[in-house]
Amino acid sequence: MGANFNLKTLTVALAALSAASIASAAGLDRSGQDITAFLQDGVYAEAVYTYLDADVSGYDNAYVGADKNAYQQGNKIDDIAESYDFFRYGVKADINDTFSVGVLYDEPFGAAADYSGDNNFVAQGDRDATINAISGGEVKDFASAANIVGKIQDKVENGGTLTAIEQAQLKKLGPAVAVAQADYNMEGEGTNVEVRTENITAILGAKFGENKEFQVYGGPVAQRVQADVKLRGTAYQAANGYTMNINAGQDYGWLAGIAYSKPEIALKAALTYRSEIDHNLNVSEIFPALAGAIPAAATGMNGEIDITTPKSVNFDFQTGINPTMLATAKVRWVPWSDFEIVPPLYNTGSKADPTNGPDGLSLVSYDKDQWLVELGLAKRLTPALAVTGNIGWDSGAGNPVTSLGPIEGYYSAGLGAKYNLTENWAISAGGKYLWFGDAKGQIPNKFAVSNFEDNDGFALGVKLSYQAKQNFN
């Protein structure tokens, strides 16, 4: 038999990696839904804090016209990525040498973006520019559009019959006038999005095999979701002024997985599947463009929205290279191409444009699935101190991508360290630098509205952990 690698000293190094193993950029992915706390030996508990600060800046689109793909560099868009933080907790214990139980908490999905300044994503209060943008350049100023709409409305009130041209003008310019007035009233407000989720997972595991080298595990997942979205500025055309609030609600899913371990070489491998989770949530929407047809759309309409958060597959792997060094790998897949947010009032409004199709538009959707790969090395320097390094790649979820999160994946490099405070207590800290992929922003009808290049960010994490052996002999 070859060298017997001391798993305890090697996991000292491994644990430092997970403090900074975060910040997935594709879709709404955030935490990476790590379950490795449950795979630790004996009694184990951890508390992890993560902070992410990104610089995502670019330019809006100065082009006005009917070509969806046309782009002309416009005004500067300052950093839209709001810094955010989140926590992860985990606790696990063995019932006996076969069964284990654990509870995990994390914040798996989210978004935080805020536009400001002089660009097409901020309500500038310029009614002429709004009319020009919505009409595709057909009508240059607000007064002309309001005059045309006023005369048509007077004709209707007096019992007159509208010509086909007048009907088309009212259909197009009526909402445009309402949106332009809303933009004027909201002057200075910028596009903003805030999405947060919380997961609590209960896990039961059972070991089997001649040396208990295999383990199957699974359990229920409770997930809470809430969101707020404001669309402001001429970039959003007729949706300028749209506001959505999704009240917090909770629904349930599940996870299942299988793991294999070979302690003599510090090998662990785990494959984990998390189910999608269907939510039915209360939503409130304001849509100024629909105020003429649906008066309540100007002040707020309440309804329900169905959202399905995506399933995922994680593969976690580690193996000893020598008695003081460990290699790690993580692969994650999330089918973001199946995900969408379809608010009912927004969807109704989008159907007014026949080019959007009979099913209308979703507010948020993605074209591609996410792949995340991270590779790392951990080295024990002393019995109490270990250091780590890792590199990573995130595929993103397509390009162009939604203007509410204009990043196409990233490359990353990270460093971490762990120090054993006592035999059972340890503290870990890590950092990761992120090079974001360039992306063009688009609105749901596929019009190009922005371009983001040469952006980056960093993530910092700190973890406090406790581990103790359990003896069932």
Question: What does the pLDDT look like over 125-135, one tens digit per residue?
Answer: 888 878 877 77
**Tens digit of each residue's pLDDT (9 = 90 or more) over 359-396:** 999 999 998 999 999 999 999 898 889 899 999 999 98
Q: Does any domain span residue 344?
A: yes
Q: Does any domain span residue 473?
A: no
**Tens digit of each residue's pLDDT (9 = 90 or more) over 226-283:** 999 999 998 998 899 999 999 999 999 999 999 999 988 889 999 999 999 999 999 9
Residues 202 and 132 placed together within one structural domain of the fold = no
Q: How confident is the model at residue 15 (pLDDT cuts 50, 70, 90)?
A: very low
The pLDDT of residue 181 is 84
Cα separation, 107 vs 336, in Å, equals 17
Q: Does any domain span residue 105?
A: yes
Residues 437 and 329 placed together within one structural domain of the fold = yes
SS3 359: coil
Which ranges in 295-437 belong to alpha helices (H)?
Answer: 344-350
Q: Does any domain span residue 416?
A: yes
Q: How confident is the model at residue 286 (pLDDT cuts 50, 70, 90)?
A: very high
**What range defines the domain where residue 136 resides?**
126-185
Residues 167 and 299 placed together within one structural domain of the fold = no
Q: How confident is the model at residue 64 (pLDDT cuts 50, 70, 90)?
A: confident
**Of 185, 208, 232, which closes a domain?**
185
Q: Report which DSSP code applies to 228.
A: E
pTM here is 0.89
Q: Are 54 and 456 in contact (CB under 8 A)?
A: yes
Is 80 exceeded by the pLDDT of residue 170? no
Residues 253 and 357 placed together within one structural domain of the fold = yes
CB neighbour list of residue 109: distance below 8 Å, 6 or more residues apart: 27, 28, 29, 30, 195, 197, 225, 309
Q: Does any domain span residue 88?
A: yes
The pLDDT of residue 16 is 41
Residues 75 and 177 placed together within one structural domain of the fold = no
Query: Average pLDDT, whole number, for the chain?
Result: 88
Is 60 exceeded by the pLDDT of residue 72? yes
Q: Are 357 and 347 in contact (CB under 8 A)?
A: no
Residues 109 and 258 placed together within one structural domain of the fold = yes
The pLDDT of residue 12 is 42
Mean pLDDT of 190-211: 94
Q: How confident is the model at residue 23 (pLDDT cuts 50, 70, 90)?
A: very low
Helices 142-157 and 164-185 meet at what angle, rounded to 10?
Answer: 130
- Bridge partners, residue 59, by sequence: 76, 451
The pLDDT of residue 25 is 61
Is 60 exceeded by the pLDDT of residue 209? yes
Mean pLDDT of 351-358: 86
The pLDDT of residue 20 is 47
- Bridge partners, residue 22, by sequence: none
Q: Report which DSSP code applies to 137.
A: T
Residues 150 and 242 placed together within one structural domain of the fold = no
Is 70 exceeded by the pLDDT of residue 473? no
SS3 161: coil
The pLDDT of residue 3 is 54
Which ranges in 390-429 belong to alpha helices (H)?
Answer: none
Cis peptide before 400 (omega within 30 of 0): yes
Q: Identify the residue with better confidence: 341 or 3.
A: 341
Q: Of 9-18, 78-87, 320-329, 350-359, give the lowest mean pLDDT range.
A: 9-18
Residues 132 and 262 placed together within one structural domain of the fold = no
Q: How many domains does the chain have?
A: 2
Residues 229 and 203 placed together within one structural domain of the fold = yes
Q: Does any domain span residue 60?
A: yes
Cα separation, 347 vs 361, in Å, equals 5
Tell which residue, 383, 391, 388, has the closest CA to residue 423: 383
Q: How would you class 159 by CB atoms within 10 Å of its CB: exposed for 0-12, middle for 13-18, buried for 19 or more?
A: exposed
